[in-house]
Structure 1
Amino acid sequence: MKPVRKAVFPVAGLGTRILPATKAMPKEMLPVVDKPLIQYAVEEAREAGIEQMIFVTGRGKGALEDHFDISYELEATMTARGKSLDPLAGTRFPAGAVVSVRQQAPLGLGHAVWCAREIVGDEPFAVLLPDDLMVGKPGCLAQMVEAYGRVGGNIVCAQEVPAERTASYGIITPGARDGRLTEVMGLVEKPKPEEAPSNLGVVGRYILQPEIMPILGQIGKGAGGEIQLTDGMAALIGEQPFHGVTFDGERHDCGDARGFVLANLALGLARDDLAPAIRAFLAETGGG
């Protein structure tokens, strides 16, 4: 069983659900407390043993690459002023550890992953959607890598979703269960509630085998007129082991303003240096 050393970050989206904040700034660079969304995802990948980060970008996304580059002027200024460089530790990588490829047309998540095929090569790889901010110890991907070490094959992150919201998720047809591990017997992309095989939705994290790449290159458009990653994964079921891992932690959907604000509040309240001020503000305004 090959280890999971590479991770794909599909970050070419326009962030239209959170305009106008994303008109000139990539949504993945919006800060939650004091770190951009993309850094939370990258740090989660690092914790899980990922060695190479692959950004699938679009036009106007240069700030993502800049964030993980060395800023000589900033570091020289901080050093000269006697300031610690520790806050920048999560943004520093050896040469070649962060690479990018362009998704030249908005053809869906499956197409974005397919765009990374030459860099992924013949290795298993992870996919992380930075919009889904996962908070837990160990991190979500580390939990999935641990499960991968036991069962191999393909792993998705699973979460129970409200029955009325199945049309917003890829939904698992479940098989045998072993604690937080569920055998995946089938996948349906965004089914209506009355047609959903369960309420176990796929969210934001995947470990996939390289055999999915030629499938993604051949399948047609699915739900929403896009090339769906769920359709590609469904083709592997029965051919390779396939499981879902229910994440032991919290998920914040930062793809819209509501989720973004709640994530800032939740992570701020988890900080000893910020929580007292936040609680005092909420008490004063009748919010706590």
Structure 2
Amino acid sequence: MLANPIKEIKDSLAKIRPYIVKTPTFETLSFGQQIDLKLEQLQHTGSFKCRGAFNSLLDNEKAKQGVVAASGGNHGAAVAYAAQKLGIKSHIFVPELSGKTKIELIKRTGSNLTIVPGTYAEALEAANNHQKETGAVSVHAYDSRETIIGQGTLFCEWENQGLEADTIIIAVGGGGLISGAISWFQKRKKIVAVEPENCPTLNVALKKGKPSSVAVSGIAANALGAKSIGNICFSLSKENQIESLVISDDDIKSAQRLLWENHRMFVEPAGAAALAAIISGKYKPKIEEKLAVLICGANPNTIPEF
């Protein structure tokens, strides 16, 4: 576990509260049973990433000299947005597979933007080189304490809104979000990790006993497409015996479609991934088990045609 995360997460929520949306929760019976949804796609820039970005930049004197971040898109948009609001210069590196919606979000902030051939791993390498050359403060997308504590505020907020679920189902890319959940709940609730079969970094790491590189592809790659799970996430997930599930791209598409048909919610593939685990039957709840699902992002490449 991260040392003493509960107080730090509470303090972080108070610190970032003026800058973030208190996103609503929503109970639905539309998917075969009652599910408590947290609509984090309504957050600034369309994902939970603003929480970690603001937590990393607020009260950071070094960041005033400039920040750099690598991202599949959502983290970059969040860092660029937070930097703009705080009057800080930013430079964002994204891979060429990033969707145009996310790229446009970054451009709107006035941030410097570099599109890098390859995947997130190549964008991260370019961002690290920039950091060494310029001395800019690096804001990691998922494998830093500041980012994880910031993401943990989502779950503190959710409990303050009356969360009663036994089980929280969360999509995983590099692992910052689920690390925040583990750090906040401290084994008080069951946490289930969900990944696309085309980029299952945590699932592979747990099977091999260490973070390992995976090939990255599929419809959620520009949000959940880390080549390797973060070291912090791996340690927390192993220690807490997190259940890890893998879903198909078709499962994700079905969840996207049903969110639209039932609730008129357009979300990106990553945003529907956690719900897909339930709809597909990959996660089989016990009788009377109360479920909660995080809708984590709303930046699809295009408006999907169902």
Tell me the TM-score normalised to structure 2 length: 0.30
Q: Which structure has the bigger radius of gyration?
A: 1
Specify which structure has the higher proportion of helix.
Answer: 2
Tell me the TM-score normalised to structure 1 length: 0.31
